[in-house]
Structure 1
Amino acid sequence: MRRFTSILTVLIGIFPLTFGVRFLLDGDGAATGYGVTAAAGAYFAIKGIRDIALGLNVLTLFALGHRRATGIVLAVTSIVPFVDAAIVLTHGGSLLTALFVHVLTALVLVFDAVLLLRERRATAEIPTAQPATASH
């Protein structure tokens, strides 16, 4: 299960990077994939850099071996796609996009966070103190 969790976490970190780059390079196409029509150019840069930063946060913590911290960040970050779904629904987007792009993403983040947080910590064996014996 640890290998599966590792692969899932790396993918979760990489996906927002690709979304972010797409928003920076092809804002109109990315906005359509997000589930809304584009209205302002600044939105693309904001959305793009947000996604890149989120992905880099996950990948950095994970690469440094902080699996528990990565799980916490994923759990907290899951609010973003949940709110994205609400944005899509309140700005003329489709229910299918809200559910199958954003809510599904949020659920995958929560799932991976739970897997990471439930892992047993690999702890180095700490020698226990031996009772002192009197030697004469």
Structure 2
Amino acid sequence: MPVAEVLTALIGVLVVLMGLNGLLRPQAAAGFGIPGTPTEDRTFQAWLAVKAARDIGLGLIILILAAGAAPHLLGWSLLAAAGIPVGDMLIVLRGNGPRVTAFGVHGATAAVMAAISVLLLLG
């Protein structure tokens, strides 16, 4: 399996683990860079469960594609999925969250996903 496909599968596994963390330990996963997040609020915890389910579903889709899709389909799919951390980055910035978190976590994740996508599309 080429390196780009292995890296894509690793991303899928990590996204599933992030989702499981959000379901099992919502306070630890809360906020993802937004200051003043009401981690004890039950309504907010319900929204975290929605995010966790999204993460698990996305991670499984990535893993399925990594297991059987042609590299170009995998590349386009991963590039489309990179829009999610871009959106998360914009949410953190709009919520006056730390720029280090916005760019260093969410932006960096999107950049890595985009770079792997390019490797898959060109390979």
Question: Which TM bucket (shorter chain)?
Answer: 0.7 to 0.9
Instruction: Output aligned runs, 1:27-46, within 5 Å.
Output: 27-32=26-31, 34-36=32-34, 37=37, 38=39, 39=41, 40-46=44-50
- The alignment-based identity, stated in percent, is 37
Question: Which entry has the higher C-alpha Rg, 1 or 2?
Answer: 1
TM-score by length of structure 2 reads 0.88
Structure-2 separation of matches of 1:31 and 1:108:
23
* Count of residues paired in the alignment: 117
Note the residue ranges of structure 1 that are not aligned, 5 or more in a row.
120-136
Note the residue ranges of structure 2 that are not aligned, 5 or more in a row.
none
Instruction: Output aligned runs, 1:17-36, within 5 Å.
Output: 17-32=16-31, 34-36=32-34
- The Cα RMSD (Å) is 1.4
CA displacement 1:13-56 (0-9 Å, x = unmatched):
11110110011011111124x21323512111111011111111
Q: Is structure 2 residue 14 aligned with structure 1 residue 10?
A: no
Amino acid of the structure 2 residue aligned with 1:18 = L
The structure with more helix, counted as a fraction of residues:
2
- Tell me which stretches of 4 or more aligned residues in structure 1 moved more than 6 Å: none
2:105 to 101, 106, 126: 101
Partner of 1:114: 118
